Amino acid sequence: MATLRLGDIAPDFQQDSTSGPISFHAWAGAAWVVLISHPADFTPVCTTELGRTAALAGEFARRGVKPIAVSVDPLESHRQWVGDIEETQGAAVGFPILADGDRKVALLYDMIHPNALANATVRSVFIIDPKKVIRATLTYPASTGRNFTEILRVIDSLQLTDGHKVATPADWTDGDDVVILPSLQDPAELTRRFPRGWRALTPYLRLTAQPGR
């Protein structure tokens, strides 16, 4: 399987989960999806990550995002692990955890680490839009917990820039100024899209208030 790239269609699959059988594209529907892979159940860093995902259920829902996790461990193991997550992290796990014992999903999404154990999945995040297009990927080492503030920030940026001819600059967070795309040069369209004006630091670097804020 070739490495998935940004802009590729997220592969569809059918797999069992803690929420019952999942047909991925049908389950995703018209939502954004965050797919999070874990190398194994009962691992300490991943326990905190799934707890954080659960605690942020309202933030994901507000953005129209459905989280889903995957591990190569079996379903019964997942169910036992969910108990640990909820007890130690103080949040109910309301999203599915795929039981990928046959590594179907891991192989489709190129999650098997070539320099690790044969069943050890890379700790990856895939952000997938409602058209099932992979819009962003993040990969973390085993020792470093994932930054969910960054995951939400990337989703905010993607959703904002999909609706406006802007990009988000370094360290941008929701509400900050944004960058007008260099391709937008028509004065009338600029005025219509950005009625509050903009600051041209250079001909190609023009800052404006975030649309809709």
Give 97's strand partners: 69
Q: Residue 207: pLDDT above 60?
A: yes
pLDDT score, position 141: 85
The domain spans of the chain are 14-145, 164-208
Per-residue confidence at 2, pLDDT binned at 50, 70, 90? low
Helical H segments across the chain, by residue range: 24-28, 44-55, 57-62, 75-89, 104-108, 148-163, 187-193
Give 68's strand partners: 35
Q: Residue 38: pLDDT above 60?
A: yes
Q: How many CA atoms lie within 13 A of 196 on its CB side?
A: 11
Q: Residue 117: pLDDT above 60?
A: no
d(CA 108, CA 106): 6
pTM of the model: 0.94
Q: Does domain 14-145 have CATH number 1.10.3720.10?
A: no
Per-residue confidence at 113, pLDDT binned at 50, 70, 90? low
Q: Residue 4: pLDDT above 70?
A: yes
56 is catalytic: no
Give the active site residue among 28, 35, 46, 93.
46
pLDDT score, position 124: 92
The pLDDT tens digits for 157-203 are: 999 999 999 999 999 999 999 999 999 999 999 999 999 999 999 99
Closest CA to 143 of 55, 41, 69, 39: 39
Per-residue confidence at 153, pLDDT binned at 50, 70, 90? very high
